[in-house]
Copies of this chain bind each other. A is one copy, B any other.
Amino acid sequence: MQADMREPDSTQGVITMLQAIGGKWKPLILFILLNEGTKRFGQLRRQLTNITQGMLTNQLRELEQDGLIVRRVYQEIPPKVEYELSEHGRTLKTVLGEMCTWGYRHLDFLNGEKVSAGPSER
């Protein structure tokens, strides 16, 4: 760990990270590809139940342009397109894993530590 900490106090690294995978769907797409490997367009669409075709296409294109995923097109009928993490995309494994782990820890915090903080009336 700590392979590269040239400016630990600078927000530059965090800013770059947010620009690359900061959207609403990108972390989820990357997380699925990381855990389940290569996926077809339709498979991703089914798993991200609330996403629309247009949004999924858009997010996948941006991830591809950032070099995080690879798009493989099979020239056949019916069409078949597969997506998978690139070599560089796989370096996200640690970050995404930590994000997931902390998310669960935060859920515990919200459920356990806040017993005296009344229901969320909205």
Contact = CB atoms under 8 A, between A and B. Distances in A.
Interface residues of A, number: 51
Nearest to A64: B120
B102 A92 contact: yes
A99 B14 contact: yes
Given A67-B113, A88-B113, A103 B15 contact: yes
Contact of A13 (B4, B18, B104): B104
Interface string A95-120: 11111111111111110011001001
A14 B96 CA distance: 8
Contacts of A32: 11
A117 B67 contact: yes
Given A8-B35, A31-B14, A35-B8, A102 B107 contact: no
21 contacts: A2-B97, A2-B101, A4-B101, A4-B105, A8-B35, A9-B35, A9-B36, A11-B28, A13-B99, A13-B107, A14-B27, A15-B103, A16-B106, A16-B107, A17-B99, A17-B106, A20-B106, A67-B110, A88-B106, A88-B113, A95-B102
